Structure 1
Amino acid sequence: MLGNGLKFLGTACLMGLLLAAVPALAGDVIKIAVPSPYTGSAAGFGENVKAGVTLKVEEINAAGGINGKKVEAVYLDEQCEPREAATVSTKIANDKDIVGIVGHLCSSAHLAALPTYVREGIAAISPTATNVTITTKNKDDKGKVWSFRNVYRDDFQGKFLADYVQKVMGLKKVAVFYENNDYGIGLKDAFVSQAKKIGLTIVGEEAYMKGAQDFTPQLTKMKGEPLRRMRRHMQMIFQDPYASLNPRMTVGNIVGEPLEVHNIL
């Protein structure tokens, strides 16, 4: 389900970008960069974006292209890593045949590449980067916007999750574990802000690094009986969105599993 959604978003992003870029096109080929993670833990999501873009490119070219010009997608692997994304953005800027960008997938990668796109005047549209600060960094000195997205922002997601925890799950206390990157921090901040507004008690905010499997350092702050009692209230954990969700389980099963373990259901 998520894969199909990313394919659709990749297709929609490509169409929006091409429509915007048509007036400035030159040469026989319309070249679009698609920077995304094609290796590493998020590679599956990058491949879904690639599949959506590939589908649309083939469809456009089969219909004769755009004003007689064929569309070509250039896929660049940045592994959802800011350092790699910054390097990739320089490669894109140095290729004067590239007229636009579909990407990046991760907020941290997009933010790392964004200064280059704004400085060089290359339009980029992301199907998935949700960090709020992207909106404050996407304009050049003249106020022209160079970065767009067709996805909701973290402030919307965080508010929704806090309301869900209170109104649907009926919880009063929550602990927040979040990945220590732009996506995790932005989502955590939005969740905590809304949680406090609606009266939820935040019993802890603990960060972890990407790829972490041992959360002992975070959990040792709550020991013994207090920890045992608190586990019944720790139902919402912000995990790595690319590696932690079991695709064989429905969202209902994922949310319901800890409730069943603690005999709340």
Structure 2
Amino acid sequence: MTHKILLSAFLLLHLFIIGAKVSESARIFTIVNNCRETIWPGVAPGESFDGGGFALRPGQSLVFTAPVGWSGRIWARTGCNFDRNGNGSCQTGNCGNSLKCSATGKPPATLAEFTLASLDFYDVSLVDGFNLPISVTALNGRGNCSIAGCDADLRTSCPNELAVRSNGRTVGCRSACDVFNSDEYCCRGVYANPVTCQPTTYSKKFKQACPASYSYAYDDPTSIFTCIGTDYVVAFCSSRRQPVCTYHNNNLICGDSTGLRPSMGKWWIMIIGLASAILCGQFLNY
């Protein structure tokens, strides 16, 4: 344990002195399962993410590299059953009959959405409903690199008319558009603009529980974030305040709920970073 702490401190001091080199050609994605059960993340398009689907046991993390220009979604599938050939299905987030996703997950599914460019755009969306909490933390970037996500479990407060149940428990919460299929709830027809499409009783309930997530189609101002040259940690069943870590240019970088990194004259931030590195020690064994 001592050598891990010293190594983490060394890496953080290295970053403190010279800073981290920003890569303009790729983004590092660390996908973490902090749930108490195995999940099967799906990614579309998934060429850079092990073909678009894989299993993550509780506490497990996987690291991927996506090129600038990639635009896609990451979500969790739950209650899956796949055979040795990767054929099967899931209770929520299903993307067909394969472990590897070639399409977006079937609602309800909490979505982490990304567009990677010289200026990245990212968000967490509840427009397709909710199945698991997600947080998206941008590390090592520049700009409005706020933490996006929904760390509340909306299954526990899902209205009966939106609830998806299996074996007596709620496993997902559908969107009002998915349930009622009306122009008003789906922001289409005469409601297909931000003036006429306004928050509904259901989207307000989602927004109250998860203020850093999209709650309906035109919920842009408080829900979409931008960052330059960043890496991403997509964590399932995590608090948005929980420390997270990523590797960048062979350096371990950690951040707290503000995404802060050590900088000159801010020793208290360095202490937070060191504590985060210790908490993220699992990455040293990856």
- TM-score, structure 2 normalization: 0.27
Relative to total residues, which structure has the larger helix share, 1 or 2? 1
- TM-score, structure 1 normalization: 0.29
Bigger radius of gyration: 1
Relative to total residues, which structure has the larger strand share, 1 or 2? 2
